[in-house]
Amino acid sequence: MDEITTALLYSSEKPSDDDLGRLADFLKDKYGRSIPIGWKQSGGITGGFRLVVGTDVYDWNTKGRLRQLQDALYALRNERTDIIPLIKDTLKDWTPTVMVDEIGTVTTVGDGIATVSGLADTSYGEILLFSGGVRGMALDLRRDEVACILFDAEEEVCEGSLVKRTGRVAGVPVGEGFLGRVVDPLGVPIDGLGDIIADDYREVDSEAPAVIDRQPVNVPLETGILAIDSMFPIGRGQRELIIGDRQTGKSTIVTDTILNQKGKDVICVYVSIGQKSSSVARIVDSLKKNGALDYTIVVNASAADPSPLLYIAPYAGCAMAEYFMEKGRDVLIVYDDLTKHAIAYRSISLLLERAPGREAYPGDVFYLHSRLLERAAHLSDERGGGSLTALPVIETQEEDVSAYIPTNVISITDGQIFLSGGLFRLGQRPAINVGLSVSRVGGDAQTKAVKKATGSLKLDLAQYREMESFSQFSGDMDEVTKKQIRYGEGLMGLLKQKPNHPMSAAEQVFALVIATTDKFETIEPDESGEAIRKIIKAVMAQCRDIVSRINDQGVLSDDDRLRILDAVKRQNV
Dump pLDDT digits (tens) for 378-393.
999 999 999 999 999 9
Residue with more model confidence, 465 or 118: 118
Q: Domain range holding 403?
A: 182-188+219-445
Q: How many domains is the chain built from?
A: 2
Mean pLDDT over residues 467-486, rounded?
A: 72
Looking at residue 350, its pLDDT comes to 93
Least confident of 262-266, 455-459, 499-503: 455-459
Q: d(Cα 379, Cα 325) in Å, to the nearest integer?
A: 8
The CATH number of the domain holding residue 331 is: 3.40.50.300
**DSSP element (H, E) containing 29:** helix 17-31
Given a cut of 50, is residue 2 above it in pLDDT? no
Looking at residue 476, its pLDDT comes to 67
> Which CA distances in Å does 188 have to 113, 150, 559?
22, 16, 55
The CATH number of the domain holding residue 507 is: 1.20.150.20
Sign of the CA dihedral 173, 303, 312, 234? positive
Same domain, 296 and 342: yes
**DSSP element (H, E) containing 286:** helix 277-289
Residue 71 belongs to some domain of the structure: no
Residue 481 belongs to some domain of the structure: yes
Same domain, 438 and 561: no
Q: d(Cα 182, Cα 177) in Å, to the nearest integer?
A: 11
Q: d(Cα 564, Cα 545) in Å, to the nearest integer?
A: 11
Looking at residue 307, its pLDDT comes to 92
CA dihedral 560, 566, 570, 573 (to 10 degrees): 80
Same domain, 396 and 529: no
Given a cut of 70, is residue 3 above it in pLDDT? no
Q: d(Cα 524, Cα 335) in Å, to the nearest integer?
A: 39
Confidence grade of residue 137 (pLDDT, cut at 50, 70, 90): very high
Same domain, 515 and 385: no
Same domain, 305 and 330: yes
Mean pLDDT over residues 174-184, rounded?
A: 94
Same domain, 368 and 457: no
**pLDDT tens sequence across 500-527:** 888 999 999 988 888 877 666 666 666 6
Phi, psi at 267, each rounded to 5°: -80, 140
Q: What SS3 state is found at 135? A: strand
Given a cut of 90, is residue 487 above it in pLDDT? no
Share of the chain above pLDDT 90, in %: 46
**For strand 296-301 and strand 162-169, is the pairing parallel, antiparallel, or unpaired?**
unpaired
Which of these three, 445, 469, 489, is where a domain ends?
445
**Tally of CB atoms within 10 A around 359:** 11
Residues 367, 355 contacting (CB under 8 angstroms) = no
Sign of the CA dihedral 457, 460, 466, 472? negative
Which of these three, 445, 468, 492, is where a domain ends?
445
Identify which of 430, 425, 398, 415 has the alpha carbon closest to the alpha carbon of residue 246. Answer: 398
Same domain, 328 and 374: yes
Active-site residue identified among 135, 214, 371, 440? 440
Given a cut of 80, is residue 358 above it in pLDDT? yes
Same domain, 263 and 394: yes
Same domain, 352 and 240: yes
Confidence grade of residue 131 (pLDDT, cut at 50, 70, 90): confident
Looking at residue 73, its pLDDT comes to 57
Residue 420 belongs to some domain of the structure: yes
* Averaged pLDDT of the chain: 85
Same domain, 340 and 384: yes
Residue 554 belongs to some domain of the structure: yes
Residue 51 belongs to some domain of the structure: no
Interhelix angle 544-553/558-569, rounded to 10 degrees, is 140
**pLDDT tens sequence across 23-40:** 888 888 777 778 888 887
Identify which of 434, 4, 412 has the alpha carbon closest to the alpha carbon of residue 241. Answer: 412
Residue 436 belongs to some domain of the structure: yes
Contact partners, residue 301, CB within 8 Å, separation at least 6: 184, 185, 271, 272, 273, 274, 309, 310, 312, 313
Got the DSSP string for 405-435?
HHHHHHHHSSEEEEEPHHHHHTT-SS-B-TT
Q: d(Cα 434, Cα 465) in Å, to the nearest integer?
A: 10
**Tally of CB atoms within 10 A around 453:** 26
Confidence grade of residue 489 (pLDDT, cut at 50, 70, 90): confident
How close are the terminal C-alpha atoms of the chain, in Å?
91
Mean pLDDT over residues 362-374, rounded?
A: 94
**pLDDT tens sequence across 403-431:** 999 999 999 999 999 999 998 998 888 99
Which of these three, 407, 423, 445, is where a domain ends?
445
Residue with more model confidence, 132 or 292: 292
Confidence grade of residue 1 (pLDDT, cut at 50, 70, 90): very low
**DSSP element (H, E) containing 458:** helix 457-471
Given a cut of 90, is residue 71 above it in pLDDT? no
Residue with more model confidence, 62 or 405: 405
Residue 50 belongs to some domain of the structure: no
Looking at residue 342, its pLDDT comes to 96
Q: 207: which DSSP letter?
A: P
Same domain, 415 and 390: yes
Q: d(Cα 131, Cα 126) in Å, to the nearest integer?
A: 16
Q: d(Cα 180, Cα 288) in Å, to the nearest integer?
A: 9
Looking at residue 453, its pLDDT comes to 87
Mark whether 142 is an active-site residue. no
Same domain, 384 and 362: yes
**pLDDT tens sequence across 106-121:** 999 988 899 999 888 8
Got the DSSP string for 219-268?
SB---S-HHHHHHS--BTT-B-EEEEETTSSHHHHHHHHHHTTTTTTEEE
Identify which of 455, 548, 512, 551 has the alpha carbon closest to the alpha carbon of residue 226. Answer: 512
Residue 60 belongs to some domain of the structure: no
**pLDDT tens sequence across 220-259:** 999 999 999 999 999 999 999 999 999 999 999 999 999 9
